[in-house]
Amino acid sequence: MLEIKNISKTIKNKKILSNVSLAVENGQTLAIVGPSGAGKTTLLRIIAGLEPLEQGTIVLDGQDVTSKVATQIDGKVAVVFQDFNLFPQYTALENVALSLKLVKGQDKNMANQNAQKILDQLGLEGQINNYPFELSGGQKQRVAIARALALNPEIILFDERTSALDPALSSNVADLINSLKNKQITQIVVTHDMEFAQKVADVTFTLEAIK
């Protein structure tokens, strides 16, 4: 279980989060919904360890991990960024294979095979040799998901794009998130789209903007 307790965050003298608490069971999907500017991305970044925390605790399976940045929790946490942050100089396949090579120490063949497997599962078999600039928004998002899955994370943090994906795409992403449930991956999905949240979430948490 991942527990967030009493988190507050101020950026540049502006209070963004005030005493936020939430919890999600292993293998469950939590949707965080709220209007634009409510602090959803900030909250996700704090959980990922990308944003220093001034107050509150983060507990993972009973262990206090507040002081550890996520990068120190052995790749347990993966992020699908709002803008995907794919590496532009690498193909879809290389984007996924890179961490397998550099972090897992797999040789090139092995890493490419494993990366290809993940991309195939996400319906990207036709795009593996495309560079990010050659991919549509939805394809980029799936490559970002594939890249996040490469290191077998226990938790995926998913920052859904604010600009609405078209309905067909959005329902694709929902299917994808639901398929990850079968893999026992805990997911936190940030979205401003209530309907989308209802499709994917076991639990929904609403974040209100601070006036």
Partner 1 sequence: MNYLFEILPSLLEGTKMTLNVFFVTLLISIPLGLILSIPLSTNNKILKPFIEGFVWLMRGTPLLLQLIFVFYGLPLIGIVFERYGAAIFAFSLNYAAYFAEIFRGGFGSIDQGQVEAAEMLQMKKAQILRYITLPQVIKNIVPAMGNEVINLVKDSSLVYVIGLGDLLRAGNIALSRDVSLLPLVGVGIIYLLLIGLLTFGLKRLENGLNYYR
Ligand X SMILES: Nc1ncnc2c1ncn2[C@@H]1O[C@H](COP(=O)(O)OP(=O)(O)O)[C@@H](O)[C@H]1O
Q: Per CB under 8 A, does 136 bind partner 1?
A: no
Shortest gap between Cβ of 85 and partner 1 (angstroms)?
4
Nearest to 75 by CA among 130, 154, 137: 154
What is 96-118 written as a DSSP string? HHHHHHHTT---HHHHHHHHHHH
Burial class (CB in 10 A: 0-12, 13-18, 19+), 168: exposed
Return the range that interacts with ligand X (CB under 6 A); candidates 9-17, 65-73, 112-120, 167-175. 9-17
Least distance to ligand X from the beta carbon of 7, Å? 12
* Residue list 69-98, contact with partner 1 (CB under 8 A): 70-71, 74-75, 77-79, 81, 83, 85-89, 98
Choose the one of partner 1, Mg ion, ligand X, none that binds residue 87, judging by a C-beta under 5 to 8 angstroms depending on kind: partner 1
The 12-31 contact track toward ligand X, x by CB under 6 A, reads x---x---------------
Q: Which does 85 bind (CB under 5 to 8 A by kind): partner 1, ligand X, Mg ion, none?
A: partner 1
Q: Which of 4, 20, 38, 53 binds ligand X (CB under 6 A)?
A: 38
Calculated CA dihedral for residues 51, 81, 13, 35, nearest 10 degrees: -130
Take residue 136 and report the two structure tokens written for it.
């549509």
Strands 2-11, 155-159: parallel, antiparallel or unpaired by DSSP? Answer: unpaired
CA 26 to CA 121: how far, in whole Å? 23
| Cβ distance to partner 1 smaller for residue 89 or 182 | 89
Binding residues (CB under 6 A) for ligand X: these are 11-12, 16, 34, 36-42
